[in-house]
Structures are given as C-alpha cells and as structure tokens.
C-alpha cells in the first residue's frame, strides 16, 4: 500500500491555510539564501550571514510550514513518498510547543556564539550543519506555532512573543556591544548584523503574533 504523506502532514499541520504555492516560494527563498551573491557575501560579512539566517528561519521555514506538499509528492517514487511520510512522523515529537520553542531558541543562540561563528567561517561543513540545524528547528517551531493556533491554544501567541523577545535580545546584544565579539568580523559589520536580527527578524515573529491575535478576535455579525 502506498504511504499517505498528506495524511501525516495534515495531522501535523491541521490549518486550512496550507498552500501548494508556499512550497514553491520556500524553495525560491532557500535558493536565494544559500546560493549566488548572498552566499558569496556571507563568507566575508557577518551581516550577510545574518540575512541568510533570517531568510531561513523567518521566511523559508514558515513558508514550508504553510505548504501542503502532497501535490508535489504525487509523482514521486513510492520509496521517496515513504521517506517523506517517515520524516514527518519523526518530527511530530519535536513539534510540540515547548520542545520546538526550546530547540529553536537553543539553535539560534548556539549558531551565533563566537566560537561557532568562527568554526562556520573556517570549516564549510560546520557552515552547512549550522544551516541545517537552523532550518530544521525553525520548521519544527513554525509547525508547533501553527498547530497551537489551530487548537486555539494560548501557547501560540506565547511562542511568537517568546521568540520575538529572545531574538530581539540577541540582536540588541550584537548591535549595542561596544566591541567586536567575533574576531573575524569588524564592529560595524557585527552591529549591522545585530540590527538585522533585531528589527527585520523581529518583525516576522511580531507579524505572526498579530495574525494569531487577529484570528482570535470574534467577527461582528
């Protein structure tokens, strides 16, 4: 019997907002973030590296969470569909709100620790692993956020608010630090990177929180 990844996906993400178009948009964002001029710039600039991170966790990950992959999977080999279904089921435990929030927060702070940033600059495999961990935990976070929202759980706005606060704090620390925290990058580059996380990055979580709050407001009539 063929697997039913769409059913597993539906249990993981029971929102009506799922859209096949989000999948294509997410792929375009991933391509823009991980290749071309931005990837080249990220090798020398912490700010460009931060833009990559914000595109991965604040744009591509929510688009993937909103995506409904079943139309894309229809023509895939049975083995590939089984692999997708297995991966979706495996992600369910870390898709619980508290676990997803904690894992994603830990990944963000760890990815921006000075030692890890140095390793990512020196070793390409660390750079790749960093991106895989960020996008994976971000996807779990956004799945958890959407599941909590669908269940009308108070965890949904709290997840968005908590992530807004801790990413804003990290961005502020980088932007307002009086000296460079990363030996391989200059102070101005670090400050710009902090501002990118603090403001545009924070807007992603602020928008999510406002969207949830708006959806909960009873409609007149």
Distances (CA, A) of 62 to 30, 33, 36, 69, 81: 12, 15, 22, 14, 22
170-210 pLDDT per residue, tens: 999 999 999 999 988 999 999 999 999 999 989 888 888 78
40-75 pLDDT per residue, tens: 898 889 999 999 999 999 999 988 887 755 545 556
Cβ contact 164:205 at 8 Å: yes
Q: Which residue has the higher pLDDT, 85 or 100?
A: 100
Cβ contact 182:190 at 8 Å: yes
Separation between Cα atoms, residue 19 and residue 28, nearest integer Å: 15
- pLDDT in the model for residue 155: 81
Cβ contact 189:47 at 8 Å: yes
Q: Which tokens go with 179?
A: 């000296």
25-43 pLDDT per residue, tens: 888 999 999 988 998 898 8
Please state the pTM of the whole predicted model: 0.78
Considering the chain, what is the average pLDDT of its residues?
81
- pLDDT in the model for residue 75: 60
């Amino acid at each position: 019997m063929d697997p039913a990844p769409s059913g597993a996906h539906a249990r993981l993400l029971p929102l009506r907002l799922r859209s096949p178009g989000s999948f294509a948009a997410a792929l375009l964002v991933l391509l823009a973030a991980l290749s071309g001029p931005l990837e080249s710039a990220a090798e020398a600039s912490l700010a460009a590296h931060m833009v990559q991170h914000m595109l991965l966790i604040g744009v591509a990950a929510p688009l993937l969470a909103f995506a409904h992959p079943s139309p894309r999977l229809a023509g895939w080999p049975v083995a590939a569909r089984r692999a997708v279904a297995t991966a979706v089921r495996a992600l369910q435990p870390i898709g619980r709100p508290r676990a997803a929030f904690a894992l994603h927060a830990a990944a963000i702070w760890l990815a921006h620790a000075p030692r890890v940033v140095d390793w990512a600059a020196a070793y390409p495999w660390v750079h790749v692993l960093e991106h895989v961990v960020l996008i994976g935990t971000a996807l779990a976070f956004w799945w958890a956020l959407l599941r909590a929202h669908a269940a009308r759980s108070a965890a949904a706005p709290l997840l968005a608010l908590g992530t807004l606060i801790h990413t804003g704090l990290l961005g502020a620390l980088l932007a307002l630090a009086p000296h460079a925290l990363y030996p391989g990058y200059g102070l101005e580059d670090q400050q710009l990177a902090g501002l990118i996380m603090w403001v545009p990055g924070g807007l992603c979580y602020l928008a999510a929180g406002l969207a949830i709050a708006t959806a909960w407001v009873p409609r007149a009539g």
